[in-house]
Structure 1
Amino acid sequence: MEEIMIRKGLRVKTIVMLVTMLTLFGIFILQGICQEGTGTISGQVIDIEGNPISELPVFIAPIEIHDGETSPLYFPYDYFDMNRTLTKADGGFTISGISPGPHYFGILSKDIDQRLPDNYEAFLRDYLTWYDKGISPEYIDGFNRTNFGFQTSDFEPDVKVISLRINNIDFYPRNDFDEVVFGIDPNVQVMNVKVIVQPRMRIRGRVVFTDGTPLSNARIRISLSFQYEDNSGRGSGGGGAGIWTDDKGYFIQYLRNREKTIIYTLSIEYQGLGTSAEEIRLEPGQRLDGLTFTFDSDPIPPKPLPPKMKTVKSEIQQSSTSELPLLPVSNEVWIINPMNGHGYKRVHCRTRDEAIAQASKEDAYLVTINDSKEQEWLGAVFGHTFYWIGLSVDSEDRDWKWDNGEPVMFENWLPDDYFSEAHNKNEREYAIITIANGKWYAVHPKSVMVKMTEMAIIEKDGLLPTIKPQKDGNEK
């Protein structure tokens, strides 16, 4: 989970190009690379004091760049697209097979090889075909919530890449949310690269029941809020996500490294149980370990998964009645987004029109997504599966427009051929959220993707007063 936070203005965007050897991408992709072959990068991972970091799982992976915005790989679905290795005792590494195009250097959690099964990649490839095999969306959603490795937070590293040092020149990301993005020419080997990392701020806690039994291997819901006040002004924010506990009930909530003292409030939920910690005050770079949350309850086992396969009536049953099968009953409640005070929930539906009708009954509308933070919040709350959203093509000017009339200020599209659609992109009329990191995909009314989309996210404003986060003195 990334906190929803008050951000200062971005640093000045810098574009630096090392011709023929290495290109660091600012807001564009180097065009015209058409040679065959792959490149190699070798070097050393060190901390800010120059000490080597050993046995650290590192990778180089492709990254998408659209209109100056970067989109790194999404775990777990893209796990097998990374070129991975483990640093040696001296922090050294060599990664080969790097294809032309933009890439970034990333880090995985140190124990990932122990926590993932040997056949993880093979399982993921099968998992991505579950919808085609008739496995129900409810089962897939439940499976994601009750297993390690199916949310981005399951792969959080303990350190963060802060710069790449090449020929004694340090290259930094444009801002706190971007990666250091580079491209390498085919058949070129770049050596002696220094990857500088630093520990991430974090809160490490443990969850137990009244009798001391740990809540092991379970996904808890964490809500985090923060506030600060200094000479530059004041700010606040918050967010929530699902975090996995380990065999002994421990979890780690990583925080954004800040340059000021922050007061945090942390609460957790699990199957209707909830508890909170006292206010936590952290200085820049500080970590807190040893926090314990105790549920006032006897141990509660995980909920059983819903039926795995979709329920389909037999031909005899279908011919004996004209009634459609009942939709699963949605017991979802409105969840408030702290950034805008709007309520969101998901509903089951057979068609997009049915989703609109359900939304209308509640004075709501299919969700409108206005920026990347709202997109990330939706993914953290509802997960990444196929959902209808309120984006469609206007019948007159053929432009994409939100159903509630708001202008399209943000886009998050997959490539037009990502799901091998047979329909021309100019014939597609609706947009859906997909399992691919929550990115959007344009679909034709007769697309197979329409049949696979059996839920929608609806949005309703007016549940709370509009929230206007207080800005610090330097925010633009």
Structure 2
Amino acid sequence: MMKRLPYTKGLFLLITVVLFFIGLGSHSIAAEAETGTFSGRVIDVEGNPVAELPVMIGPTMAIGPGIHPAFSPMSYPTTRRARTDAEGRFSITGIDARMSYFSALPQNVDALFPKDLETKIAKAMEEKDFAAIYTSGVTEMETDDFEPDYEVLSIDIRGITFYPRNDFSRIGFSVEPGSDIKNVKVIVQPRMRIRGRVLFKDGTPLRNARLRLAFNYTRADGQGHGSSGGNPRTDADGYFLFNLDEKDDTANYTFSVAYQELEATAGPVLLKPGDRLDGLTFTFDSEPIAPEPPPQRMPFNRSTDFPSPKPISVPAFDAAWIVNPANGHAYKRVPCESRDAAVAQATEEKAHLVTINDAEEQAWLSAVFGHEFYWIGLSDAKKEGQWQWDNGEPLTYENWLPDDFFSEVSDADERDYAVTTFTDGKWYAVSPKSILLRMTAMAILEKPDGLDGQ
């Protein structure tokens, strides 16, 4: 399995910017409501405190059976952060009521960002100025730049210990508004990684450059093999760090790095689970070459009328009904190519798109399914301006984002259907031309009679 999946660059950047504004809007709106606190200690596997470790609570999403971070470099200002003291203690405040995860951050995380980033982002958010995000330089960063040096093995909350499902998943939870969760115990360990250096043949380091790194590995017992890779960045002396997630077996690794048209290899080297290898050197058979020009910034015009959405990629996972004990209704999320497809599946399963009748039901849905783009059963397609639930129930509760939150130019009378968003699960009306349609590939179904007869 590859560690990183390729993206269509333009669409990825656009979606990332949209998600970033969602995150900022979420915190701005949540700042008006009660938030929670999460505090405790970080220790290693032997029980020793891990001091001066930057930690955070950030947004996450449920994808199939796993919990994955909805975190990108541009969403860093929306995370809640702290640093452990000499005893490994931490306290994180101002946590929004959404599905979240706890993680370490790189030791030098504050130095990674452009100066005054949060001030610039706040101003851009206030003015809804996407161009300001690009001029900040943050869009040139990649997730590989923010890989933490420690991984979370378990979290003990009020006597119950939680573990990630696998090496790639996170431990998801939700902090209720106004709650103060104390005495949390987090066990971490240093991540398996390599530290390499890239040189030209005259000994000059490749400075501040984005690499294409790939590796192959064969288990020492000969019973398996695989490959993966990423895009680390060298520092001013040509050094880079790269974390290995394929860490369960002793294996022989061969690494290669590429920059422009140059390539160099190192290995094979035998690595055991948990090893942290220093001293790998990659030497290009070339004199120093001119650096690559910075990527061309994608122009963004707030008045742009986006083309009709292309077919979206539908996630695959096994869906299961989950009963809300407060009302006895059963719910599940399903992948779908469109709202019509979700309605058809609901009908086939004798269900309907979810109806959200009060803040308690909204909070339960957010805690169970996370803050993502989901189709819900709300529309004004029958009569413009009169929003109705598909199952005929009256609209007794509303949870809308501001109408201009995404600065879309579609006329209001074209927005006939509602989706939930990353912004605390708040609702937003979308039109056939909305960029959000490209990002909505799931729906929540509801059975009022629970699982009777199943």
TM-score normalised by the chain length of structure 2: 0.60
- DSSP-derived class of the 1:301 partner: coil
In the TM superposition, 1:180-219 aligns within 5 A as 180-219=171-210
Q: Is 1:79 the counterpart of 2:70 in the alignment?
A: no
Residues 1:263 and 1:4: Cα distance change in structure 2 (over 3 Å): farther
In 1, the alpha carbon distance for the partners of 2:102 and 2:126 equals 29
Q: Is 1:282 the counterpart of 2:271 in the alignment?
A: yes
Shift of residue 206, structure 1, vs aligned partner:
0.5
Shift of residue 84, structure 1, vs aligned partner:
0.4
Contact kept, 8 Å, 1:3 with 1:237, in 2: the verdict is: no
In 1, the alpha carbon distance for the partners of 2:188 and 2:434 equals 46
Shift of residue 396, structure 1, vs aligned partner:
10
In 1, the alpha carbon distance for the partners of 2:292 and 2:126 equals 24
Shift of residue 445, structure 1, vs aligned partner:
5.8
Q: Which amino acid aligns with 2:96?
A: S
In 2, the alpha carbon distance for the partners of 1:238 and 1:442 equals 43
Q: Is 1:88 the counterpart of 2:77 in the alignment?
A: no
Partner deviation per Cα, 1:75-107 (whole Å, 9 max, x = no partner): 212111111011111111111112223221111
In the TM superposition, 1:74-153 aligns within 5 A as 74-124=71-121, 147=140, 150-153=141-144
Residues 1:297 and 1:189: Cα distance change in structure 2 (over 3 Å): same
Residue ranges of structure 2 left out of the alignment (5+ in a row): 6-31, 318-335, 346-370, 376-400, 439-454
Q: Is 1:60 the counterpart of 2:69 in the alignment?
A: no
Contact kept, 8 Å, 2:131 with 2:300, in 1: the verdict is: no
Shift of residue 446, structure 1, vs aligned partner:
4.3
In 1, the alpha carbon distance for the partners of 2:125 and 2:231 equals 21
In the TM superposition, 1:310-329 aligns within 5 A as none
Q: Which amino acid aligns with 2:234?
A: T
Partner deviation per Cα, 1:328-348 (whole Å, 9 max, x = no partner): xxxxxxxxxxxxxxxxxxxxx
Q: Which amino acid aligns with 1:254?
A: N
Q: Which amino acid aligns with 1:171?
A: F
Residue ranges of structure 1 left out of the alignment (5+ in a row): 6-34, 313-349, 357-365, 373-390, 401-411, 429-435, 453-476
- Deviating more after overlay: 269-278 vs 36-45: 36-45
Residues 1:73 and 1:125: Cα distance change in structure 2 (over 3 Å): farther
- DSSP-derived class of the 1:243 partner: coil
Contact kept, 8 Å, 1:161 with 1:196, in 2: the verdict is: yes
Contact kept, 8 Å, 1:77 with 1:124, in 2: the verdict is: no
Shift of residue 164, structure 1, vs aligned partner:
1.2
In 1, the alpha carbon distance for the partners of 2:176 and 2:418 equals 38
Contact kept, 8 Å, 2:250 with 2:272, in 1: the verdict is: yes
Q: Counterpart of 1:165?
A: 156
Partner deviation per Cα, 1:267-306 (whole Å, 9 max, x = no partner): 1110110011121211121121110111112222322246
In 1, the alpha carbon distance for the partners of 2:259 and 2:344 equals 43
Q: Counterpart of 2:43?
A: 46
Shift of residue 352, structure 1, vs aligned partner:
7.5
Shift of residue 68, structure 1, vs aligned partner:
4.8
Partner deviation per Cα, 1:364-386 (whole Å, 9 max, x = no partner): xx8967669xxxxxxxxxxxxxx
In 2, the alpha carbon distance for the partners of 1:161 and 1:189 equals 21
Q: Counterpart of 2:288?
A: 299
Q: Counterpart of 2:261?
A: 272
Q: Alignment length, in residue pairs? A: 326
Shift of residue 4, structure 1, vs aligned partner:
7.7
Contact kept, 8 Å, 1:225 with 1:265, in 2: the verdict is: yes
* RMSD over aligned Cα atoms: 4.4
Q: Is 1:263 the counterpart of 2:252 in the alignment?
A: yes
Residues 1:368 and 1:130: Cα distance change in structure 2 (over 3 Å): farther
In the TM superposition, 1:429-440 aligns within 5 A as none
Residues 1:36 and 1:447: Cα distance change in structure 2 (over 3 Å): closer
- DSSP-derived class of the 1:302 partner: coil
In 2, the alpha carbon distance for the partners of 1:203 and 1:158 equals 11
Residues 1:425 and 1:174: Cα distance change in structure 2 (over 3 Å): farther
Shift of residue 66, structure 1, vs aligned partner:
5.8
- DSSP-derived class of the 2:211 partner: strand
Shift of residue 118, structure 1, vs aligned partner:
2.9
Q: Which amino acid aligns with 1:83?
A: R
Shift of residue 243, structure 1, vs aligned partner:
1.1
Shift of residue 173, structure 1, vs aligned partner:
1.8
Residues 1:425 and 1:88: Cα distance change in structure 2 (over 3 Å): farther
The structure with the largest helix share of the pair is 2
Q: Is 1:225 the counterpart of 2:221 in the alignment?
A: no
Residues 1:300 and 1:398: Cα distance change in structure 2 (over 3 Å): farther
Partner deviation per Cα, 1:237-272 (whole Å, 9 max, x = no partner): 223322111121111111126332122221111011
Which of 215, 230, 235 pairs up with 1:241? 230
Contact kept, 8 Å, 2:415 with 2:432, in 1: the verdict is: no
- DSSP-derived class of the 1:298 partner: coil
Q: Which amino acid aligns with 2:157?
A: I
- DSSP-derived class of the 1:244 partner: coil
Contact kept, 8 Å, 1:257 with 1:285, in 2: the verdict is: no
Contact kept, 8 Å, 1:2 with 1:255, in 2: the verdict is: no
Q: Which amino acid aligns with 1:216?
A: R
TM-score normalised by the chain length of structure 1: 0.57
Shift of residue 111, structure 1, vs aligned partner:
1.1
- DSSP-derived class of the 1:63 partner: strand
Partner deviation per Cα, 1:104-137 (whole Å, 9 max, x = no partner): 11111001122323312244567899997679xx
Contact kept, 8 Å, 2:59 with 2:71, in 1: the verdict is: no
Contact kept, 8 Å, 1:225 with 1:236, in 2: the verdict is: yes
In 2, the alpha carbon distance for the partners of 1:198 and 1:309 equals 39
